[in-house]
Structure 1
């Protein structure tokens, strides 16, 4: 079985616990960024290093989107509303992400979430995946 293909492989890195978002950390001021960057937006320093971001966090805020994402993240022709949230990764930063759960009654600010890889669309070469966050037991 071949490894899954991703919308943008540069956003992910492998860790012992599984895939994680690939970010960067400034060695001068300790600011984290996602996606990874060569320079620091906080102090403008150039001493950044790639880091695997936390795979778990808390849902900071969320909304439901009823429109198709912009290209190249267009998804499938059978578009359904999806949830998008801001996820706070402890001690690092807040990232914007799709959420696996779309039922508003099951989403709660402050709930624990974990990174997941999910099918996004299918093209001529097969399925293409993206990242999302899914609720986890606390």
Structure 2
């Protein structure tokens, strides 16, 4: 197995047995952001802190993507091996909605309000001997 590292550092706890997304919270107004930001989009304060956003949420909306993602979001899939996948917004406990690839890819299994759980998955090799990892959400009912 190749050594693993995050596709983009700072998006989730790594490595962790119970990973969670990392974002920012404005110290002045309490607004959350993902990914983390150095200033607040709500009040323009520059007093933000990195916080855990959790690893559970609710499927707010979704669609099925039936075409291969373009760079820099590409995977190791080829046109022959590509399988359509779900993409959705997950509403976290803080109220923030995070766009994410979904484990499920069927209109029979996805529904608004579905409880979701974060998972860390391989996305591709980096060409330097590392397996790059990213996050996605999957149905918590299926676990």
**Given the two structures, how large is their TM-score scaled by the length of structure 2?**
0.86
Q: Which residue of 2 aligns with 1:27?
A: 27
Structure 2 partner of 1:47: 47
1:18/1:2 CA distance change after superposition, 3 Å: farther
1:128 paired to 2:140: no
Q: Match of 1:105?
A: 108
Please tell me whether the aligned partners of residues 7 and 73 of structure 1 are also in contact (alpha carbons under 8 angstroms): no
Pair 1:87 & 2:87 matched = no
Report which stretch shifted further, 17-26 or 52-61: 17-26
* C-alpha displacement of 1:16: 7.1
TM-aligned CA deviation for residue 50 of structure 1: 0.2
Q: Relative to 1, partners in 2 of residues 1:66 and 1:2: Cα closer, same or farther, differing over 3 Å?
A: closer
1:8 lines up with 2:8 in the alignment? yes
- SS of 1:137's equivalent? helix
Distance 2:125 2:3 in 1: 15
8 Å CA contact 1:83–1:98 kept in 2: the answer is yes
1:127, CA displacement in angstroms? 2.6
Distance 2:94 2:8 in 1: 25
TM superposition score normalised by structure 1: 0.89
Which structure exhibits the higher relative contact order, with contacts defined as CA atoms closer than 8 Å and separated by 6 or more residues? 2
Rounded Cα–Cα distance in structure 2 between residues aligned with 1:41 and 1:126: 35
- Which stretch of the first structure deviates more once superposed, 45-54 or 10-19? 10-19
CA distance in 2, matches of 1:18, 1:88: 18
